[in-house]
Amino acid sequence: MNIKETHSRNPWRTMALVVVVAAADFLLSLMNLGLSLENGIVPAEPTAPEFIRFAGLPILAPLGAIALIWRHRFPKSVAAVTAVLGALSFSGVAFFVALYLLAKRRLDWWVAVVIALCIGAEALVGVEPLGWEGTVLATLLLAAIAAWGAYRGQRARLRESQLASLKERADHAEAEHVADVQRAQLAERTRIAREMHDTLAHRMSLVAVQAAALQVDAPDSETAQSAQLIRETAHAALSELRDVLGVLHESGESTPQEQRSAPSGIVEITELITQWHQTGMTISYQEPAEPLPPMPDAISRAAYRVVQEGITNVARHAPEAAATVTLAATESEEMVSELWVTVSNGPSASGESSAGAGLGLIGLTERIELLGGTLEHDATSQGFQLQARIPFAAVQESETQEAPAS
């Protein structure tokens, strides 16, 4: 088993561990040295080499504790070093800690190797020969320490696995909840859209029928022309309403009428302005000096909606003001084509805004931002200006035309 455990890297915790283990090894070394002197294992009048060795034991003992600083990065090496230092210095607390942490981190043949190294070093350079009984007792003690470390490590890994499983289940439940909320929102939006479609379709149909009747019975040509414009506008509104809400059909298939109806785009802007001219508004359309490059349908439709919303706002809030519609295509610093659509008008008449003013701009802003563009609208010294910047990649001409029938 070779499982890496997540360890705490708190420097204060490491410092406290090193200080405590160093003090314990120092005291244990002094105690063993005193017992060895009392039992005659260490000579009372040692030779120079023996004196140097035994006098240096209390200094050598804390080195194993210092090695514990690298216990996380080099657990096997630290365990081996502390095993040898423990045998040399008549101590071993640092080795017990290193063996425990090694077994807690990974329980494999390296643990057995380190235990064998400790027993061998103790037999070679220890205080006195261990003998068979001492070897068995030392082996059992070290095996018990390793077993305890392995048990605690397995418990920690099991707890982490359970926490990870609980977190995964919580994330899954949260994702399911978000999905349920989104489905509920979608269902509610679909219901509202259906009701809006049914209500508006009924009302606009009545407007179209009454306008047609007024056109037939009009007392003069001007009234007949106005009635015709109302009828055509009502039919266009119905067509666009079906175009937008056609996806709500339960069958999921578009009707033949929806298949025939083309979405409004830049080419319909001229017709849109002409319709507003017939209502008495003054609108000038500044077409680009050079032909616009072919662009995706989504960009073209968005440009049309910007012009439609801009002129509608002019008609609602400043019907007596002259408006200007401008289209231009430029290239940004990132070599990306950008379509600029601007609708500006003169000063607005004083008075309160109509109910619901601004909601159209909010929806239009979201639509433009989904395309990666920006929409700015604000009052100017000359009146009001609505400007949209929409980045796009030019579409090849061959992709925008249908292949001729063979």
Distant-in-sequence, close-in-space partners of 130: CB < 8 Å, separation ≥ 6: 119, 122, 123, 138
**Residue 257 host element (H or E):** helix 256-260
The pLDDT assigned to 360 comes to 73
Structure tokens that stand for 373 in this block: 């563009």
The pLDDT assigned to 336 comes to 67
The pLDDT assigned to 343 comes to 93
CATH number of 264-348+358-397: 3.30.565.10
Question: Among 5-9, 210-214, 224-228, 324-328, whose mean pLDDT is lowest?
Answer: 5-9
The pLDDT assigned to 65 comes to 75
The Cα–Cα gap between 86 and 95 comes to: 7
| Confidence label for 352 from pLDDT (cuts 50, 70 and 90) | very low
pTM over cut 0.85: no
| Domain range annotation of the chain | 11-129, 183-256, 264-348+358-397
Q: What is the rounded average pLDDT of the residues 352-360? A: 50
User: What share of the chain in percent tops pLDDT 70?
Assistant: 73
Angle at 369 between CA 364 and CA 372, to 5 degrees: 140
Give the gyration radius of the chain's Cα atoms: 43
CB count in 10 Å sphere of residue 296: 16
Give the range with max mean pLDDT: 76-80, 244-248, 382-386: 382-386
